[in-house]
Amino acid sequence: MSNDPTHQFLVNKIVPIEIGGIDFSFTNASLFMVATVGVAAGFLYLTTSQRGLIPTRLQSVSEMSYEFIASMLREGAGSGGMKFFPMVFSLFMFILTANLLGMFPYFFTITSQIIVTFALALFVIGTVILYGFYKHGLGFLKLFVPHGVPGVLLPLVVAIEIISFLSRPISLSVRLFANMLAGHITLKVFAGFVTSLSALGAVGIGGAILPLIMTVAITGLEFLVCFLQAYVFAVLTCMYLNDAVHPGSH
Amino acid sequence: MFVTAAYAQQSTTTEGAEAHDAAAAGEVHTETGVAHEGEAGSGVFPPFDSTHFASQLLWLAITFGLFYLLMSKVIIPRIGGILETRHDRIAQDLDEASRLKGEADAAIASYEQDLAAAKSKGHKIADDARESAKAKANADRTAVEADLAKKISAAEDRIADIKAKALADVGAIAEETATAVVKQLIGGTVTKAEITAAVKASAGN
């Protein structure tokens, strides 16, 4: 059981709930969603409760994440995109905290569930589409018609643009999901090598050193990936929101 | 071996749940199988197990919605407020600093103005003093000069007077002397008129 690298992604019911024949149980995934919200919101709330003019270290962490996302969104979508700041900030903090919580042994990684990342990606794309049509009406469709394309090529280019737009939620969700999943499986596999090799006796213990080093190195890499994937998700969200704010500007 | 375990599990999923329960002979099989039976039962790769999708979506919507609300209503206004306050405070401090600098510059300017005024006043006093001293010296000098000139002219007058008197006397003395000399030399007397003419003639030379 402990050797199965996919076991860590199993969803277990904690409190079974069924509404209208559909299973809405409170699971370990739900628990870690709640934990993610608690940790992220608690950190941001408590570190900024002093409202210090001169920030403490932790307060400056909160401020840095705020300014980091604010500048990312301003660069990505212009000042017109700043109304989406709460959304991008929430997404970034939620994904980052979820990824980092998943790095604790025996903790559940909610971003390694395709349905979770897909829901988040659909939330982004849905916002882009709804806001795009709300703000620009049918002018939003100019998004699929780039400027300066010769008339002959236009149908082809429009088809490509539409396909690339439709593939966005998939690429956005699969990128995050696959990175977290693959990272955790790799960690588990290498860590498993250590235990199984060291069970083989002295030679095995000697041979287990290499996977042990790998495990340590991959753990470091995974922390980087945790941050990087949250960052990538936020950056891409900013880029997609830019399409909703300024369609046909690319 | 875990890799093989995963493989075994994958193959069972393709075969179906019954085959999994019934056939599963290998220890590895049962090992992984147990883990799944308790939970999902379907034995698919856990992240793709759709039995929990509804629950995941519901709880994600609840938790993320709550998180979004917390962020947009509490955290973001608060951090924004902190940054705004700091920004304002810095701007205010900079304004205050530039105001104080302006004041200091004005103070320096007025000080320099006062200094220049005092300097020019000092110069003026010195000049005045010098001028008045010079004027006084000039006046004194002219007074002295005038006095001296008066004295000189008086002296010259006296000298001329004395000279004239002396010269006037010279004729008489010469006549007397000439009379006496002539008397001594020739023993005769010469008329006074002749003597006077002679003296005058020699004096005229």
Residue A86 has pLDDT above 90, yes or no: yes
Closest residue in B to A119 (Cα–Cα) = B57
Of the candidates A71, A83, A70, A66, the one whose C-alpha atom is nearest the C-alpha of residue A244 is A83
Q: Is residue B91 part of a domain?
A: no
Q: What is the pLDDT of residue A41?
A: 94
- Taking CB atoms and an 8 Å limit, are B39 and A11 in contact across chains? yes
Q: Where are the domains of chain A?
A: 7-245
Burial environment of residue A234 by CB neighbours within 10 A (0 to 12, 13 to 18, 19 or more): buried
Q: Which two tokens stand for residue A24?
A: 């809405």
A39-82 confidence digits (pLDDT tens): 999 999 999 988 888 888 999 999 999 999 999 999 988 888 89
Closest-CA distance, B37 to chain A, in angstroms, reads 11
Say if the Cβ atoms of B2 and A188 lie within 8 Å: yes
Beta-carbon-side half-sphere exposure of residue B165 (alpha carbons within 13 Å): 6
pLDDT of residue A249: 65
Start-to-end Cα distance in chain B: 167
Residue A196's pLDDT band (boundaries 50, 70, 90)?
confident
Span B67-86, pLDDT tens digits: 999 999 999 999 999 999 99
Which pLDDT value is given to residue A151? Answer: 81
- The answer to whether A120 contacts chain B (CB < 8 Å) is yes
Across the interface, which of A9, A53, A63 has its CB nearest the CB of B46?
Answer: A9
pLDDT-derived band at B31 (thresholds 50, 70, 90) equals very low
Q: What is the pLDDT of residue A250?
A: 55
CB A188 within 8 A of CB A222: no
Q: Does A127 touch chain B (CB under 8 A)?
A: no
Nearest to B66 among A10, A37, A181 (CB): A37
- For residues A119 and B52, the model is more confident at A119
Q: Per-residue pLDDT for A98 more than 80?
A: yes
Contact state of A33 with B82 under an 8 Å Cβ cutoff: no
What is residue A167's predicted lDDT score, i.e. its pLDDT? 93
Task: Tell me: pLDDT of B33 over 60.
Answer: no
The residues pairing with A22 across neighbouring beta strands, listed in sequence order, are A19
Provide, as residue numbers in chain A, all residues whose Cβ is less than 8 Å from the Cβ of B32: 1, 4, 7
Across the range B27-55, mean pLDDT stands at: 58
Cβ distance B57 to A119 less than 8 Å, yes or no, reads yes
Nearest Cβ partner for B56 among A29, A63, A93: A29
| Run of H or E residues at B93 | helix B76-186
Lowest mean pLDDT among A105-119, A141-155, B114-128, B141-155: A141-155
pLDDT of residue A2: 53
Q: Is the residue at B31 inside a domain?
A: yes
| Residue A113 reports pLDDT greater than 60 | yes
Tell me which chain B residues have a C-beta less than 8 angstroms from the C-beta of A120: 60, 64
DSSP track, A8-19: GG---EEE--EE
Among chain A residues, CA nearest to B67: A37
Q: Would B33 be classed as within a structural domain?
A: yes
Output the average pLDDT for chain B.
78
Quick check: is B14 in a domain?
yes
Residues B176-186 as b/e (b if ≥16 CB within 10 A, e otherwise) read eebbeebeeee
Look at residue A153 in the predicted model and tell me its pLDDT: 85
**What is the pLDDT averaged over residues B197-202?**
78
Please state the ipTM of this predicted complex.
0.89
Q: What is the pLDDT of residue B6?
A: 44
Instruction: Name the β-bridge partners of A23.
Output: A18
The minimum CA-CA distance between A82 and chain B, rounded to whole Å, is 12
Tell me the shortest Cα–Cα distance from B74 to chain A, in angstroms: 8
Band (pLDDT 50/70/90 cuts) for residue A143 is confident
Identify whether B28 is part of a domain. Answer: yes
Whole-number pLDDT of residue B17: 42
Q: In this complex, which of B47, B52, B66 lies closest to A112 when CB atoms are compared?
A: B47
Q: Which of residues 52-91 of A touch B (CB under 8 A)?
A: 52-53, 55, 59, 62-63, 66-67, 85-87, 89-90
Instruction: Report yes or no: A117 and A177 within 8 Å, Cβ to Cβ.
Output: yes
Boundaries of domain holding B43: 1-48
Instruction: Provide the Cα torsion A220, A225, A230, A236; round to 10°.
Output: 150
Using DSSP's 3-state secondary structure scheme, residue B15 falls into helix
Nearest Cα of chain A lies from the Cα of B101 at a distance, in angstroms, of 25
Q: What is the total count of domains within chain B?
A: 1
Q: How far apart are CA B22 and CA B29, in angstroms?
A: 11
Among candidates A4, A40, A67 on the partner chain, residue whose Cβ is nearest the Cβ of B67? A40
Within a domain: residue B5? yes
Residues 6+ apart with CB under 8 A from A65: A44, A89, A92, A93
Q: Is A216 left (phi over 0), alpha (psi -120 to 50) or beta?
A: alpha
| Most A-contacting residue of B4, B30, B45, B59 (CB-CB within 10 A), to test interface | B59
Phi, psi (degrees; rounded to nearest 5) at A51: 50, 40
Instruction: Kindly state whether residue B21 falls inside one of the protein's structural domains.
Output: yes
Q: Whole-angstrom distance between the N-terminal and C-terminal Cα of chain A? A: 52
pLDDT the model gives residue B20: 42
Q: How far apart are CA A210 and CA A229, in angstroms?
A: 27
Q: Given pLDDT bands bounded at 50, 70 and 90, which one contains residue A127?
A: very high
The answer as to whether B54 is a domain residue is no
Nearest CA-CA distance, residue A1 and chain B, Å: 6
Q: What is the pLDDT of residue B1?
A: 41
pLDDT digits 0-9 by tens, B11-25: 444 444 444 444 343
What's the mean pLDDT in A154-166? 90
Mean pLDDT of the region A184-208: 87
Q: Residue B32's pLDDT is what?
A: 41
Put simply, the answer to whether A51 touches B81 (Cβ < 8 Å) is: yes
Q: Quick one: pLDDT at residue A163? A: 93
Flag if B2 and A189 touch (Cβ within 8 Å): yes
How many beta-carbon pairs under 8 angstroms link A with B? 160
Evaluate if residue A116 carries a pLDDT over 70.
yes
Between A3 and A33, the more confident residue is A33
